[in-house]
Structure 1
């Protein structure tokens, strides 16, 4: 039914649309419908590539009035494929890539189609950055609206803690600003509530002086996993806020710069990011190296955009991905044993488990001060089965599910929505806890018909 609606909707849009409208059969369609996760294979009836806010308004109005299912795509990184849909209309913001840096005010105005690589390219010229994630091809919109955990979280908070305002196209086609002083309820909901409330066409962020940091990976043999995890847990919970380092289980790629003797070995990794004075970095890292001498040590001075894009080449668009996520309050001895059990079974070179610290500055806000609820957790865990070959999907999915099922009883109960598949309303509620009821009320105010429902959906109260 929705596919049959596409022609009249497309015809209505053409009179009010400056961007590109792409339909099945068009030369650009196959490339335009592709998203980052190669496991997602959806066929929208219409893709509206917007070049400005007026295009977004026209597309929202056309989808609503035409009764079409609507999805919104920024960087197309969403693991569950929630930036696209079958038989509906996709609002593609990717042409809206402007970044304006106000160096005097230390703010960034970022278009809704930007990736973090776009932001870093513009802001690094001024020696500035705002907290983002771990891969530069990630979209600004999706990462921000889900919370934004990254290298700078311990020093400067989550991405949403640095969001000053957002321009939003609502379900009724109105353009509004959300900030502490305008539509404050919407601003609260956007900071962790995902794409439930409208299309964010631009973001205004607070920026911080970040240029060259001290960071990069250190690797240890799997045999040291238990000792390393316990040491890292205790260290990172008490470390100065300008030191961050996420823990992971990895299979070493068989390529430079990794030494040949560790190629394809399953190993433990900590990837560091220190934002303090560079002349003090070696003094901070000397006791780390003495306490747990790494087998491979790449940590050192590195430009911020280089650290942020360090793993882009290892994870290009089009791989098969299956995600599972949890927040963790206490990394217990039993949980560590289970992690090691499943890490020894990593099913492919790209499959991994990461534990991201979300303490430090990320704990300054209370659990109810933004929609992002798990301010009291210490870590966000993500288990990802990844492989280039669809023939291996069953194996990577089963490993990820088994791993998560074993660890979930040791979790805080919910997961980071940016790193979850489409797992249903119960898991969405678990991830928002007591904030869900307030989010549902705000959803009823701004999107009562649930037009924006291709997401980790919050249903109107």
Structure 2
């Protein structure tokens, strides 16, 4: 046997032996603490370790299911003893399987058993367990006449959603989900359980509102909730448009967004999907309006009147929860059926309001979608989410108040392409196709255009991700990481570096 081959086999043996030793000792330690956990030889492990995005195959060493902050602490300490990377999983919807560690061999702290929600009858503040999903949060809070701003994908976990952003149709009115975090109970890498708030562990409080999972595992979150509006509207209109018409509509949408006439009660986006013929796209306009029902038409008229008659029109007016349900992606009660999976590649681009998109960039994107997109076999869409406008609560938060680094955002783009049957393998052509959606914008903007990226639409192929996700906050995050997690215990592919 050649020496190189012999050495390689020896290394494989050593790694396998150490992994087995880690698993055995970890299993014993967690069992002593009464913490339920799944290991690779357990029958339920395969299903439990399946990522949301089936493009990834990740094998954690173990998946632990704590039920209290004290049990989370025990899991973290056990992981440190075994020199493992420890990662939190809330809803499990990380686009790149960060909630499973992103790479093999991590210890996953699955928070799905921590689903308590209590609402203070006097203050309206809510303490929410990180394992709750957005649909269930909305239903429970609504029963108390309260609401939060958050996304419409109901199976997303509140822990990860609020830890990195949390945009939804109520965000122009109430801010991002993370803007409503009043305090959190956090387990640090040394096993200590601390409170992070405006008055306690202030640096940690700043960091968990924008880059939470790099610094600790959040065991509970106290949110400021809001009285639900008396009426609400859900709407979705679609058109089949040729590229010039869709480009003109996109340009009108930006003009309307910059006009200052959109009230904070309006939340919406435009979307692009594959058209019925080459050179066409499906153009969608959807969202929620939380103002009086009789003012909905006058609110959207400045933009809507510039468009041709829609092919489809769905408008639901009723209560807050009825409007959320009408526009939701998934069941509001997530216990009624299992979560779904997909095989996809997605990116993001956060366009600053201070330097609006050029007409050339908008036209280039639409033309690309109408031509290259029509020839793609992928199932794809592009969301253009409205963040800004002069009355947006998102942009009124001071830049340095939270670790979230994109307060000047006008639009956030999410280009997303799935494999044709939503199952593996993912076609290689899909990567270039989605990358091209972003480059059609950036290549038609000034070379010094400072666009950002949204950490909840995480992308492990993004160059210079540190700057794109965190901007000038990244250096401050690194300093804090070295202080509270010196061993880099909470590590995953896009975690803050020491």
For normalisation by structure 1, the TM-score amounts to 0.91
Shift of 1:34: 1.2
Shift of 1:433: 1.6
* Residue of structure 1 equivalent to 2:474: 436
* Residue of structure 2 equivalent to 1:284: 299
Shift of 1:146: 0.8
Q: Report the CA distance shift for 1:319/1:397 in structure 2 as closer, same or farther (over 3 A).
A: same
Shift of 1:370: 1.0
The counterpart of 1:229, out of the listed 250, 268, 274, is: 250
* Residue of structure 2 equivalent to 1:339: 365
* Residue of structure 1 equivalent to 2:30: 13
- Cα deviation per residue 1:236-280 (whole Å; 9 max; x = unaligned)? 33211111111111248xxxxxxxx99xx8401111211112243
CA RMSD of aligned residues (A): 2.3
Secondary structure at the counterpart of residue 353 of structure 1: strand
* Residue of structure 2 equivalent to 1:153: 171
CA contact (8 A) 1:6 1:88 kept: no
Pairs aligned (count): 448
* Residue of structure 1 equivalent to 2:180: 162
Does structure 1 residue 365 correspond to structure 2 residue 397?
yes
- Cα deviation per residue 1:199-230 (whole Å; 9 max; x = unaligned)? 01111111122365212211122323112111
CA contact (8 A) 1:163 1:205 kept: yes
The counterpart of 1:385, out of the listed 399, 417, 420, is: 417
* Residue of structure 2 equivalent to 1:187: 205
Does structure 1 residue 353 correspond to structure 2 residue 382?
yes
CA distance in 1, matches of 2:286, 2:331: 14
Q: Report the CA distance shift for 1:134/1:393 in structure 2 as closer, same or farther (over 3 A).
A: farther
Q: Report the CA distance shift for 1:97/1:342 in structure 2 as closer, same or farther (over 3 A).
A: farther
Shift of 1:195: 0.9
Secondary structure at the counterpart of residue 218 of structure 2: strand
CA contact (8 A) 1:325 1:382 kept: yes
Does structure 1 residue 219 correspond to structure 2 residue 247?
no
* Residue of structure 1 equivalent to 2:273: 250
Secondary structure at the counterpart of residue 189 of structure 1: helix
Secondary structure at the counterpart of residue 348 of structure 2: strand
- Cα deviation per residue 1:407-457 (whole Å; 9 max; x = unaligned)? 234463321111122247831233212111111111122111111111522
CA contact (8 A) 2:155 2:330 kept: no
* Residue of structure 2 equivalent to 1:47: 63
Q: Report the CA distance shift for 1:398/1:423 in structure 2 as closer, same or farther (over 3 A).
A: closer
CA distance in 2, matches of 1:424, 1:251: 25
Shift of 1:153: 1.3
CA distance in 2, matches of 1:294, 1:350: 23
Secondary structure at the counterpart of residue 291 of structure 1: coil
Q: Report the CA distance shift for 1:248/1:145 in structure 2 as closer, same or farther (over 3 A).
A: same
Secondary structure at the counterpart of residue 109 of structure 2: strand
Shift of 1:350: 3.6
Does structure 1 residue 450 correspond to structure 2 residue 488?
yes
CA contact (8 A) 2:185 2:221 kept: yes
Larger Rg: 2
Give 5+ residue unaligned stretches, structure 2.
Answer: 1-14, 333-337
Shift of 1:95: 1.2
Shift of 1:378: 1.1
Which shows bigger deviation, 154-163 or 409-418?
409-418
Shift of 1:298: 1.0
CA distance in 2, matches of 1:420, 1:334: 27
Secondary structure at the counterpart of residue 37 of structure 2: strand
CA distance in 1, matches of 2:306, 2:462: 44
* Residue of structure 2 equivalent to 1:272: 287
Secondary structure at the counterpart of residue 114 of structure 2: coil
* Residue of structure 2 equivalent to 1:256: none
Does structure 1 residue 66 correspond to structure 2 residue 82?
yes
The counterpart of 1:326, out of the listed 335, 346, 349, is: 349
* Residue of structure 2 equivalent to 1:257: none
CA distance in 2, matches of 1:53, 1:308: 34
For normalisation by structure 2, the TM-score amounts to 0.85
Secondary structure at the counterpart of residue 335 of structure 1: helix
CA contact (8 A) 1:116 1:139 kept: yes
CA distance in 2, matches of 1:425, 1:89: 27
Secondary structure at the counterpart of residue 204 of structure 2: helix
Give 5+ residue unaligned stretches, structure 1.
Answer: 253-260
Shift of 1:349: 6.4
CA distance in 2, matches of 1:162, 1:69: 29
Shift of 1:364: 0.7
Secondary structure at the counterpart of residue 439 of structure 2: helix
CA distance in 2, matches of 1:3, 1:135: 37
Shift of 1:88: 2.1
* Residue of structure 2 equivalent to 1:80: 96
* Residue of structure 2 equivalent to 1:258: none
Secondary structure at the counterpart of residue 118 of structure 2: strand
Shift of 1:123: 0.8
Secondary structure at the counterpart of residue 222 of structure 1: strand
Q: Report the CA distance shift for 1:448/1:181 in structure 2 as closer, same or farther (over 3 A).
A: same
